[in-house]
Structure 1
Amino acid sequence: MLTTNPFDHGLDGDKLREECGVFGIWGADNAASFVALGLHALQHRGQEAAGITSFDGHNFHSHRAMGHVAGNFDREEVMRLLSGRTAIGHVRYSTTGETALRNVQPLFGDLAQGGFAVAHNGNLSNAMKLRRTLNRRGSIFQSTSDTEVIIHLVATSGHGSTLERLTEALRQVEGAYSLLILTEEGMVACRDPLGIRPLVMGKLGESTIFASETVALDVIGATYIRDVDPGELVVVNEGGIRSFRPFAKVEARPCIFEHVYFSRPDSVAEGKSVYEVRKNIGAELAIESPVEADYVVPVPDSGVPAAIGFSQQSGIPFELGIIRSHYVGRTFIQPTDGIRHLGVKLKHNANSALIDGKKIVLIDDSIVRGTTSVKIVQMMRDAGAREVHMRIASPPTRHSCFYGVDTPERAKLLAAQMSVEAMADYINADSLAFISIDGLYRALGTERDHDKPQRCDACFTGDYPTLLTDLAEKEGAIPLSLVASR
């Protein structure tokens, strides 16, 4: 969740946050050590908490902790306890459930069929409704996480095998999920039928690996095999690897924001280099919204690839006009407002010798509340910039996400409340422009089909690919647009 003051952590405090990342390995000595390395590579997807559960053929072993992977899973006494040749892990940034150890994944249940551990990337949009039904049946929840609903649905299923129970459970949930499940019978990896959240499969020798991003495979020297397909369940055990497709096939709607911001630039998503896509976004932005300037300046670090693309397309030199310190921790104490303001400069500072007297174009990945953009523009003006233009490598974020991204409520999204011109005045920029939704699709190498949605772009368009049952019950009605787009 976002902190009360969005500047407590420098310029990163006003970014959209992915809920989590998952990593699992089957059939490797010291499996938990590989998982810890994989989670290090996925740390950007969740910096609030981390957990690993392993299975040694007889018993499950778990360690969950608040904070980063480093400091929790680089201790010999912890890793020694996580024995076994199979393990799954999770890094978390909460969108549902309080910030507490009981919500840190993998969650574990000791079911009638045996142990059941689950790590979940995504968000269930009907979790509260299902939870109320399960409560009435006698289920006792140990967390406030939507993920625990899946465990209770599996536990109360009338089917025989764990796979049948899981399939029945998943038929009842709405929303987004990429899951890694560890049982005494094997490991299961699955994605929701729309494939909203990512999940890839790799190999390291005879070991099978699943991860949220390909970069986690790279880190341990594994080879990428393929994506887990939308609606697919992959089961790995001593009998080998089997694939099941129990759901009716629908057109996939993977999250478009993975390419804009969430994934690491050195990952490959849907067969495309994330870095190259972000450069393409910058190039499209330069074509759509050109500007005369002396320098193209990225907002580090997420704005860098798009800024390179903008520079190459426009011919305006790329320069590092904002320097980021990588040595400022998230626990920096800021006792007063004045010191808190100075704390921003500890992490990001203007390169004044470069900026002074120049016309610059700032490239950032998104504008959420707008508070960060105000600070950035002011930072440039304080450094002596003659003109400050801003270009954003995504369309205006006008709608909240309900599929595993920590998004402010719509009333707090700047683009939902203001026109682009009013936003430019608000952040005190000489001009402001966003890439168009069609331009974003072109950067991905395709033309947008206005009649047949190809991706989940609801944060930009409001076209949600599933019903939002919990939201509809809270607001008292299901919007017709949601019914039509299901």
Structure 2
Amino acid sequence: MSKPMPPAHPFDDDKLKEECGVFGVVGVADAANFVALGLHALQHRGQEAGGIVSHCPEDGFNNARRFGYVRDNFTSQSLMKTLPGPLAIGHVRYSTAGSKGAAIRDVQPFFGEFSMGGAAIAHNGNITNAEALRKELIERGSIFQSSSDSECIIHLMARSLQRNIPERMEDALRRVEGAFSVVAMTRTKLIGVRDPLGVRPLVLGKVGDGWALSSETCALDIIGAEFVREIEPGEMVVITAEGGVESLFPFRKQDSKFCIFEHVYFSRPDSIIGGRSVYETRRQIGVELAREAPVEADLVCPVPDSGTPAAIGFAAESGIPFGLGITRNQYMGRTFIEPTEQIRNMGVRLKLNVNRALIKDKRVILVDDSVVRGTTSRKIKEMILDAGAKEVHFRIASPPTAWPCFYGVDTPQREKLLAATMSEEEMCQHLAVDSLKFISLNGLYRAVGEGDGRNSACPQYCDACFSGEYPVAPTDMLQKGFKLKAAE
């Protein structure tokens, strides 16, 4: 059994983390191999652990769950031979709900054996009433095997009186609050479901005579699948091995509240969201940012890699030259070295290095996707100044992150978010830079295609991390004393 991965490097700790990606395939030979490829393409959505469950008529259900990267675990022929069959689903994760550095039992997909046969589920999102559900289920005799909120779905399915597994899943998910994009499987069916608000992404693809479900379109590309469409908010699709696709809408229709931060950071730039290229949206964010917050400078430099498209847009709109003033070391993995105090003091230099010849004697605009705690921003600023820059200006391709996310993102406690305790001017002074500007919420909405900006009466996206307006009440956190914006 592979060991849990050590803590991420401090550079990664100052970024928000999407907690997982899901992928499933039906109607192809050796489906688990397709799933492994899909999970590899979704590795940016979760690097702590991964798992695959497959089914074939001769051997039934089989599963493999491992800590670490997909490439290190699901490329061995000996392992993949233990996952035969034309139907498989998989999951990559960071832990959010549930314990950090979790046991292997917390790694999805989760499997349950029911009277009508087995089923496995993989969940992207976060259940905001999981603790209340868990308490109720335990009091009624359920025995939990993991600390994950997602296991509640399996127990709710087991207690349902519906006649088949898709109907039991509908029944279970009606009790769930929060965000869920679920890929599930029975012995003969692949199932995909999005919550009524559509907070997390899920897409449908065609691969040969079979079908695929994925968190993002980039994972369809890697297996040569054709992108068909997005699963709609509140939709359940049930796909058979013979190729039949049934679409159901079991939940009350609500206005979509897709996570706007998927556009800013979480999704891969080569994915398509809502018919829009993620790369093009991020480039347009840079254009809007340059219009809103111009500054005289000599060089526009991205903080790699997520700041690059926005920096390209900023440079194009402002007319200031674009340059790769910072290089990211692509080969320093999380297990590179046991971090001694001396290594820790090197900070981000293990991950990033400044191109001194390009930076020296220039007024530099650094474009980054977000500021969370601000620790990395300060270190990068110091590196730029050490390289001889005259001035350092930060331009941030998202509004200030002032509120935690309860829908599947690994967000620090609110008091640890820099924007929760400081104004923009105070953050500028704290980071000790010449200027600091964030894109406005309206500017972000324009960049993602909402020409009139944000509809304050009914926001078109979930933007709670910026606005503090939560589309689903975070039940468990409210019971622990979390204060909503209106209650402050």
Please give the TM-score of this superposition, normalised by the length of structure 1: 0.96
CA contact (8 A) 1:11 1:348 kept: no
1:423 paired residue among 411, 422, 427: 427
Listed one character per residue, the Cα deviations across residues 30-79 of structure 1 (whole Å, up to 9, x for unaligned) are 10000000111000000000110001025001000000001100001100
**How many angstroms apart in 2 are the aligned matches of 1:426 and 1:337?**
24
Aligned partner of residue 462 in structure 2, secondary structure: coil
2:461 match: 455
What is the one-letter code of the residue matched to 2:70? V
Aligned partner of residue 461 in structure 2, secondary structure: coil
2:14 match: 14
1:83 match: 84
2:155 match: 152
CA contact (8 A) 1:296 1:363 kept: yes
What is the one-letter code of the residue matched to 2:351? K
1:235 match: 238
What is the one-letter code of the residue matched to 2:29? D
Listed one character per residue, the Cα deviations across residues 142-164 of structure 1 (whole Å, up to 9, x for unaligned) are 00000000000000112222122
Deviation at residue 10 of structure 1 after TM alignment: 5.3
1:72 match: 73
Deviation at residue 445 of structure 1 after TM alignment: 1.4
Aligned partner of residue 475 in structure 1, secondary structure: coil
2:406 match: 402
**How many angstroms apart in 1 are the aligned matches of 2:286 and 2:433?**
19
- Are residues 1:370 and 2:371 paired? no
Q: 1:36-115 alignment to 2 at 5 Å?
A: 36-58=36-58, 59-98=60-99, 99-115=102-118
1:411 paired residue among 412, 415, 421: 415
1:23 match: 23
Aligned partner of residue 234 in structure 2, secondary structure: coil
Q: 1:201-216 alignment to 2 at 5 Å?
A: 201-216=204-219
**How many angstroms apart in 1 are the aligned matches of 2:437 and 2:277?**
25
Closer/same/farther in 2, CA of residues 199 and 112 from structure 1, 3 Å limit:
same
Listed one character per residue, the Cα deviations across residues 411-464 of structure 1 (whole Å, up to 9, x for unaligned) are 100000001111011111100000000000000111221111111000000110
Farther-moved stretch of structure 1 (180-189 vs 412-421): 180-189
1:345 match: 349
Listed one character per residue, the Cα deviations across residues 163-198 of structure 1 (whole Å, up to 9, x for unaligned) are 221111111010000001111241110000000000
CA contact (8 A) 1:10 1:345 kept: no
CA contact (8 A) 2:119 2:165 kept: no
Deviation at residue 479 of structure 1 after TM alignment: 4.5
Aligned partner of residue 81 in structure 1, secondary structure: coil
**How many angstroms apart in 2 are the aligned matches of 1:76 and 1:467?**
46
CA contact (8 A) 2:348 2:376 kept: no
**How many angstroms apart in 1 are the aligned matches of 2:318 and 2:10?**
30
Deviation at residue 475 of structure 1 after TM alignment: 1.1
Listed one character per residue, the Cα deviations across residues 261-280 of structure 1 (whole Å, up to 9, x for unaligned) are 00000000111000000000
**How many angstroms apart in 2 are the aligned matches of 1:424 and 1:389?**
9
Structure 2 portions without partners, runs of 5+: none
2:195 match: 192
Aligned partner of residue 77 in structure 1, secondary structure: helix
1:139 paired residue among 142, 152, 171: 142
Listed one character per residue, the Cα deviations across residues 284-336 of structure 1 (whole Å, up to 9, x for unaligned) are 00000001110000000000000000000000000011111111010122443
- Are residues 1:465 and 2:468 paired? no
1:311 match: 315
**How many angstroms apart in 2 are the aligned matches of 1:205 and 1:335?**
47
Closer/same/farther in 2, CA of residues 334 and 80 from structure 1, 3 Å limit:
closer
Q: 1:285-296 alignment to 2 at 5 Å?
A: 285-296=289-300
- Are residues 1:245 and 2:220 paired? no
What is the one-letter code of the residue matched to 2:333? G
Instruction: Let me know the Cα RMSD of the aligned residues.
Output: 1.5
**How many angstroms apart in 1 are the aligned matches of 2:47 and 2:461?**
26
**How many angstroms apart in 1 are the aligned matches of 2:255 and 2:339?**
51
Deviation at residue 474 of structure 1 after TM alignment: 1.1
Q: 1:164-203 alignment to 2 at 5 Å?
A: 164-203=167-206
**How many angstroms apart in 2 are the aligned matches of 1:220 and 1:335?**
37
Listed one character per residue, the Cα deviations across residues 177-226 of structure 1 (whole Å, up to 9, x for unaligned) are 00011112411100000000000000011111000000001111110000
Aligned partner of residue 353 in structure 1, secondary structure: helix
**How many angstroms apart in 2 are the aligned matches of 1:279 and 1:269?**
14
What is the one-letter code of the residue matched to 1:431? S
What is the one-letter code of the residue matched to 1:385? A
What is the one-letter code of the residue matched to 1:463? E
What is the one-letter code of the residue matched to 1:123? N
1:392 match: 396
What is the one-letter code of the residue matched to 2:19? E
**How many angstroms apart in 2 are the aligned matches of 1:347 and 1:122?**
29
CA contact (8 A) 2:87 2:188 kept: no
Percent of aligned pairs with the same residue? 58
Aligned partner of residue 172 in structure 1, secondary structure: coil
Deviation at residue 112 of structure 1 after TM alignment: 2.2
**How many angstroms apart in 2 are the aligned matches of 1:13 and 1:160?**
45
CA contact (8 A) 2:32 2:54 kept: yes
Closer/same/farther in 2, CA of residues 4 and 368 from structure 1, 3 Å limit:
farther
CA contact (8 A) 1:109 1:151 kept: yes
Structure 1 portions without partners, runs of 5+: none
Q: 1:316-331 alignment to 2 at 5 Å?
A: 316-331=320-335
**How many angstroms apart in 2 are the aligned matches of 1:180 and 1:86?**
12
What is the one-letter code of the residue matched to 1:272? R
Deviation at residue 238 of structure 1 after TM alignment: 4.0
Listed one character per residue, the Cα deviations across residues 101-129 of structure 1 (whole Å, up to 9, x for unaligned) are 11101011122222111000000000000
What is the one-letter code of the residue matched to 1:70? R
Please give the TM-score of this superposition, normalised by the length of structure 2: 0.95
Closer/same/farther in 2, CA of residues 472 and 262 from structure 1, 3 Å limit:
same
CA contact (8 A) 2:306 2:369 kept: yes
CA contact (8 A) 2:39 2:91 kept: yes
Farther-moved stretch of structure 1 (177-186 vs 286-295): 177-186
